[in-house]
Amino acid sequence: MLILILLIFTSCKTISPPTEISSALVTPNPSREAQALIRFLREQYGKKVISGVMTLNSFDEFDRVKKISGKAPAILGMDFMHHGRGYTQWFNEDQILLDAEKHKEQNGITTFMWHWRDPSRKTESFYTSETNFDLSLLQNPQSEEYESIIKDIDYIASFLKRIPHIPILWRPLHEASGTWFWWGAKGPQAYKVLYRLMFERLVHHHQINNLIWVWTAEKNDILWYPGDDVVDIIGTDIYNGSMDEAFVSLQSRYPDKIISLSECGTLPDLNKSKWSWFMCWYGDFVLNNSALWTSILHHPDVITLDKMPKL
């Protein structure tokens, strides 16, 4: 009976993060705004969970969640997926910057990711099964692969450099160990070369200092980790499986890092794991959680846009 009581107590107990986590950033001389954001994340970690939603088109899911629940998420997720591909007849590449500006004026937090389409331009896909881009050739600076990678990174940098006053949770090259994206197709060593090249290019070459680098961890992918010197925050994307088990596992693997739920298909149980933030994916994932949005965003431990301070 005593064992049963202990098991029940343990299963209900909140899983709290460690307290000894630095607010220092991996970017040398980070912007004042980036420093303010990481301090805020550090202060809230283990106490409050910051709400977020991924958008596909300007504020679409953000506005939908607000309509459903009466409250708006604090974090706005956006993607560079359509940038640099010549889609300008139907896509406004500047919209992502306009939305980041608008969200900052509301005291919101912006996170950017990049479903990076085939750098060779032979296809328009980012899936391994639909491209044959050979990332292993990246170590040769004279290769076409290296040249195309640099060209794409520099193009995205041209947008990031236009918003130096907005701190960005920057989450590139996600879910690599799943190998379903081309940046993970050639294994962990090739992936880490690419990640560190991107860090070097954006931070040192372009002198972009408003990015907070979020690395997306998966199960059993320790060999894929690019290093403490180029990662500020650990994220993970969960659509199936136990969120609480994932949180405990990531805490043990990265005890000195903030842990976030960087993508999710269902909303988390706020009475257990204290993620830094959660970001629900767009489309059906937002709709499938319609019944939960109100209770989640009105939960006393959740930070919504109206609760955000001016950082």
Active-site residues, by number, are: 175, 263
φ and ψ of 111, to 5 deg:
-120, 135
Helix (H) or strand (E) holding 42: helix 32-44
User: Would you state the structure tokens that stand for residue 53, as one six-digit string?
Assistant: 């939603």
Minimal CA–CA distance to 123: which of 100, 89, 153, 148? 148
CB within 8 A of 140, min separation 6: which ones?
Answer: 146
Distance of alpha carbon 285 from alpha carbon 52, whole angstroms: 13
Q: Is the separation of the CB atoms in 109 and 308 below 8 Å? A: yes
Distance of alpha carbon 127 from alpha carbon 106, whole angstroms: 35
Distance of alpha carbon 285 from alpha carbon 2, whole angstroms: 40
